[in-house]
Amino acid sequence: MDLNLKDKVIIVTGGAKGIGEAITRSVSKENGVAVIVGRSKEVGEQVAEDIKDQGGKALAIHKNLGTPVSCSEVIDEVMQEYGRIDGLVNNAGANDGVGLEKGGPDAFLASLEKNLYHYYYLAHYALDALKASKGSIVNISSKTAVTGQGNTSAYAAAKGAQLALTREWAVELLKHQIRVNAILPAEVMTPLYESWINTFSDPKAKLNEIERKIPLGNRMTTSEEIANMAVFLLSDRAAHMTGQHLYVDGGYVHLDRALAGAKE
């Protein structure tokens, strides 16, 4: 199926690693222009160069998101380079374990800055361009927004707010034909996830325990499976979808956990 993303300019925050990298590469495979925004210059440029070597179009923007200025600079740079924006994928974030007990007001606010504020700032500064292109926004949230996790108040709050903003922006932007949707991953092996699993004394045993509880296939979701949904939502194949919260999680959130081990 052709997603008609040829030459569409799509910004992917955190687009050089994990889920973001998979989305970047999927945009490129669909002949779109991938704009990678991230705080690691080398890694972003490496992915962009790799895409260009394969005949694709990509731009790496080195930016630590969080402040309004850094986000407005991202949009300015994309507009200077391409003169249009067709899609924004808000993806950058990290589950940083700022809880009620281990944390405090300063840590809570700092985590929201890293996980939530730039979702709003980028959408705000990209709005004129998205109006012109009748573009699309995809917010990467998390199962944590609806299940909780414990000891991660700020991350859960940010992920919940992203779902609320998805509905809110979908309504506000109806008149501009800008569609806004969210994806909720549950368990996806990425560099971030790997460093988390390695904090356990027996990472392999912990991973087995997690995988057993994922109903469909007792396995992790791949980054590519999240990216497949993201490029579909960005495309005009999803022309009548807006304000949706999509769970790409092998049934993790909604199916009965008694299904653990259902494969055997």
Binding mask 112-151 for ligand NAP (x = CB under 6 A): --x-------------------------x-x---------
Q: In angstroms, what is the minimal distance from the CB of 137 to ligand NAP?
A: 14
CA distances from 244 to 105, 112, 206 (A): 32, 23, 32
Instruction: Pick the stretch among 10-18, 77-85, 238-246, 254-262 that binds ligand NAP (CB under 6 A).
Output: 10-18
Is 82 annotated in the active site?
no
Q: Tokens standing for 179?
A: 């569609």
Residue pair 206/220 in contact (Cβ under 8 Å)? The answer is: no
Considering only residues 45 to 64 of the shown chain, the ones binding ligand NAP according to CB under 6 A are 64
From the candidates 119, 121, 125, 155, give the one annotated as an active-site residue: 155
Q: Which of 3, 5, 8, 14 is in the footprint of ligand NAP by CB under 6 A?
A: 14
The count of chain residues that interact with ligand NAP, using the rule CB under 6 A, is 27
Judged by CB under 6 A, does residue 16 bind ligand NAP?
A: yes
Judged by CB under 6 A, does residue 97 bind ligand NAP?
A: no
Measured between alpha carbons, how far is 197 from 213 in angstroms, rounded to an integer? 16
Instruction: Pick the stretch among 35-43, 103-111, 209-217, 251-259 that binds ligand NAP (CB under 6 A).
Output: 35-43
Q: In angstroms, what is the minimal distance from the CB of 239 to ligand NAP?
A: 25
Nearest to 250 by CA among 233, 263, 234, 231: 263
Instruction: Pick the stretch among 38-46, 98-106, 129-137, 256-264 that binds ligand NAP (CB under 6 A).
Output: 38-46
Nearer to ligand NAP, 6 or 41 (CB): 41
Which positions are catalytic?
A: 155
Contacting positions for ligand NAP (CB under 6 A): 14, 16-20, 38-40, 64-66, 91-95, 114, 140, 142, 185, 187-188, 190-193
